[in-house]
Amino acid sequence: MSRRTTEISGLRARLLRVPLSRPWGPDVPAVHVIATTVTLTDGAEGHGLTWTPSIGAHAALALLEHDIADAARGRTADPEAVWQPLWEHLHEAGGGGLTTIALAGLDLALWDAAARRAGRSVSGLLGRRRSSVAAYGSGVNLHYPLAELCAQVERWVAAGFDAVKIKVGGPDLAEDVRRVAAVRAILGPTRRLMLDANQRWDLDRATAALDALSGYAPAWIEEPLRAEDLAGHAELARRTRIPLAVGENLHTEHRFAEYLRAGAAHVVQPNVVRVGGITPFRRIARLAREHGVALHPHLLPELSGQLALTLDAEVMVEDVEDAGFGALGALREPSPVRIDRGRLYEVDHLGLGLRFAD
């Protein structure tokens, strides 16, 4: 007799507002998390999430509660088998962005359920390849006065980070140069310094800025141009020796493939939530490996750090100061990861270990 396939019987979602102890600017005092619970026909449950700092949380919640919940019911609980048909079902509302952000809520819950059923963590289920990965200090700090920025970098150095990332892209290029010079002086010549322009430049401005900043040996420049500007990134890659990092605002494996084929990305940074969950994240990791390009996940170290432990190549995970779900008091249980002296380690847990407080 054939074994009956476990199916999805229901999906619940609830929206949480998590205040930030260190606001990401006057318009981002909190981030939004949608906590999800999937129920399966064998009685198992899985707990996942999706996330957006400030824009689109209610729209993602509506997609989960209506389109995704209805379309998922009765389908297989295998996350790798169900992701593609559900993505195709949602495609009328867009191939990426809100649709993939919402779909992550189901995908993560399904992986959590699969790992819990096996009595393992998700990294244990996928196959952990190392006991720790490097983490780098990061901050949303373009609005910080120079003294406050330097104090933040000094905290990272004292905490044992060997790499840090700061924001650039202010209206005055000379001020960007002063800030980067001050940070490099604190870091010394051996620690890595990454820069993030958050899509603030056009091609000519980016060219001039990278020429001015190249003397401070940045390990990469992140999102120098609008993420949609593939041709611009390809041209900028020809104009500068500073590696270009993209991916925070690329939402599908197809967009990552376009950037990689065009030579427009030297580092890819998929956000596990924005690309639609663990299933597409793993596809993007394979693409990066095939193209010989480094992958360093974007944000969410409690989630991306677990996946980083399973990848073939060593990666760095991003630890934004004072922004972890555990540190913000958003979790029911201790965080599934800890960061110590610039390394991320997993803490014993089942599934994803990310259940949010009521």
Residue 231: inside a domain: yes
Could you tell me the residue range of the domain that residue 181 belongs to?
124-346
Range 254-275 average pLDDT: 98
Q: For tokens 């169900």, name the residue.
A: 82
pLDDT at position 268 over 90: yes
165 is catalytic: no
Are 175 and 57 in the same domain? no
Are 269 and 186 in the same domain? yes
Greater confidence (196 vs 21) lies with 196
Are 107 and 133 in the same domain? no
- The residue length of the chain stands at 358
In degrees, rounded to 5, the angle at the alpha carbon of residue 211 between the alpha carbons of residues 205 and 214 is 130
Q: Count of domains in the chain?
A: 2
Are 276 and 132 in the same domain? yes
Question: pLDDT by residue (tens digit) across 146-187?
Answer: 999 999 999 999 999 999 999 999 999 999 999 999 999 999
Determine which one of 165, 233, 298, 349 is catalytic.
298
* Banded pLDDT at 2 (limits 50, 70, 90): very low
Residue 243: inside a domain: yes
pLDDT mean across residues, the chain: 96
Residue 308: inside a domain: yes
Are 325 and 341 in the same domain? yes
Are 133 and 113 in the same domain? no
Are 136 and 264 in the same domain? yes
pLDDT at residue 358, as a whole number: 84
Are 225 and 337 in the same domain? yes
Question: pLDDT by residue (tens digit) across 214-236?
Answer: 999 999 999 999 999 999 999 99
Cα end-to-end span (Å), the chain: 43
Are 93 and 132 in the same domain? no
Residue 2: inside a domain: no
Rounded Cα gap, residues 173 and 37, in angstroms: 47
pLDDT at position 1 over 60: no
Range 1-20 average pLDDT: 86
Residue 357: inside a domain: no
Torsion 230-232-234-240 (CA) sign? negative
Q: Could you tell me the pTM of the whole model?
A: 0.95
pLDDT at residue 226, as a whole number: 98
Determine which one of 47, 167, 266, 296 is catalytic.
167
Question: pLDDT by residue (tens digit) across 304-315?
Answer: 999 999 999 989
